[in-house]
């Protein structure tokens, strides 16, 4: 079982209505992306982290570890915004390299910080949903929103098949390691290529076996999953509306001040 999937079943927020959590995550994500507001992004980043760690009881170290992955990616991807190659030095910094400068401006730095915070806020919204809501509950919400059933079934099959592929890959990797398949870089590359080839063959066999099992259980084109439903609460809905209004107010206030 994936760690995030495990945490979603252990979360203290699991028994909150899934539609409420889905609405909170999606609406907040849209507001952050549309507004590009630093203030709104900071509020979202703190609120999503607080709900996930403090209310959901997800370990802080694990949450920060998962959040560090997009942080590293964003830092490298925004270098193009921070750093420019120019013959004219800009106002933030300038490092001479021959007849050119590695330079940056305060406006570019501000825009880069804005992009990083907005992206992190969006990721924190998705982490909130993933860490606190099991996948069947999310798919049930999508079904109520009249998403195509074919798309939902594909999502469910792909999601379940991820665990199967991970289990096969883990067994193959363990077998290779026990036979010194990773003793040096060259051998590791050869072992990795062999693992991918065997994984493809075994994945095809397992998928055929899975389809045969579904057919033997009278599969008619619809996958039926038992879902636990929890009634929405007026206080939680009011809190979500209030938070979204707070983000909108922070956005408008930042626009007015600028």
- In the chain, % of residues over pLDDT 90: 19
Distance CA 22, CA 129 (A): 7
Is the pLDDT at 241 greater than 80? The verdict is yes
Q: Same structural domain for residues 181 and 140?
A: yes
Distance CA 137, CA 220 (A): 22
Q: What is the mean pLDDT of residues 42-67?
A: 91
Q: Same structural domain for residues 45 and 106?
A: yes
What band does 239 get if pLDDT is binned at 50, 70 and 90? very high
Closest CA to 169 of 202, 130, 123, 217: 202
Query: Which comes out higher in pLDDT, residue 129 or 182?
Result: 129
DSSP type of residue 16? S
Distance CA 184, CA 152 (A): 43
Q: Same structural domain for residues 143 and 240?
A: no
Q: Same structural domain for residues 113 and 46?
A: yes
**Mean pLDDT rounded to a whole number for the chain:** 83
Q: Same structural domain for residues 147 and 251?
A: no
- Over residues 159-181, the pLDDT tens digits come to 878 777 877 888 888 887 887 77
Q: Cβ distance 105 to 90 under 8 Å?
A: yes
Is the pLDDT at 182 greater than 70? The verdict is yes
Distance CA 132, CA 17 (A): 11
Structure tokens at 253: 């206030």
Q: What is the mean pLDDT of residues 216-235?
A: 77
Q: Same structural domain for residues 92 and 170?
A: no
Q: Same structural domain for residues 20 and 121?
A: yes
∠ CA 240-233-3, rounded to 5°: 70
Say what the pLDDT of residue 4 is. 79
Q: Could you tell me the strand order of the sheet in which 84-86 lies? A: 84-86, 100-104, 93-97
The structural domain count of the chain equals 2
What band does 156 get if pLDDT is binned at 50, 70 and 90? confident
Closest CA to 153 of 223, 217, 50, 90: 223
**Rounded to two decimals, what is the model's pTM?**
0.80
Q: What are phi and psi of 208, to 5 degrees?
A: -65, -40
Q: What is the DSSP annotation of 154-207?
A: HHHHHHHHHHHHHHHHHHHHHHHHHTTTTSSHHHHHHHHHHHHHHHHHHHHHHH
Q: Same structural domain for residues 7 and 74?
A: yes
Structure tokens at 230: 């929890």
Q: What is the mean pLDDT of residues 209-237?
A: 78
Say what the pLDDT of residue 258 is. 63
Range of the domain at 235: 1-133+231-258
Q: Same structural domain for residues 43 and 114?
A: yes
Q: Same structural domain for residues 98 and 3?
A: yes
Query: What are the CA-CA distances from residue 138 to residues 53, 154, 213 (Å)?
Result: 20, 14, 25
What band does 242 get if pLDDT is binned at 50, 70 and 90? very high
Q: Same structural domain for residues 223 and 128?
A: no
Q: Same structural domain for residues 127 and 163?
A: no
Is the pLDDT at 1 greater than 60? The verdict is no
């Amino acid at each position: 079982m994936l760690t995030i999937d495990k945490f979603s079943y252990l979360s203290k927020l699991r028994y909150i209505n899934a539609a409420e959590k889905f609405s909170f995550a999606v609406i907040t994500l849209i507001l952050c992306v549309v507004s590009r507001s630093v203030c709104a992004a900071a509020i979202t980043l703190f609120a999503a982290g607080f709900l996930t760690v403090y209310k959901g009881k997800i370990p802080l170290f694990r949450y920060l570890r998962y959040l560090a992955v997009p942080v590293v990616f964003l830092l490298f991807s925004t270098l193009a915004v921070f750093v420019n190659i120019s013959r004219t030095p800009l106002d933030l910094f300038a490092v001479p390299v021959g007849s050119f400068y590695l330079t940056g401006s305060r406006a570019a730095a501000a825009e880069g910080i804005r992009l990083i915070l907005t992206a992190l806020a969006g990721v924190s919204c998705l982490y909130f949903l993933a860490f606190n809501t099991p996948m069947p509950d999310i798919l049930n919400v999508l079904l109520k929103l009249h998403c195509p059933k074919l798309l939902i079934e594909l999502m469910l099959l792909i999601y379940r098949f991820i665990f199967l592929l991970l289990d096969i890959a883990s067994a193959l990797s363990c077998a290779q390691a026990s036979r010194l398949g990773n003793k040096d870089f060259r051998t590791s590359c050869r072992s990795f290529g062999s693992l991918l080839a065997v994984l493809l063959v075994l994945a095809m066999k397992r998928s055929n076996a899975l389809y045969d099992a579904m057919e033997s259980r009278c599969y008619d084109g619809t996958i039926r999953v038992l879902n636990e439903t929890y009634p929405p609460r007026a206080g939680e809905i009011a809190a979500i509306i209030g938070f979204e209004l707070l983000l909108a107010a922070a956005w408008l206030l930042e626009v007015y001040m600028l």
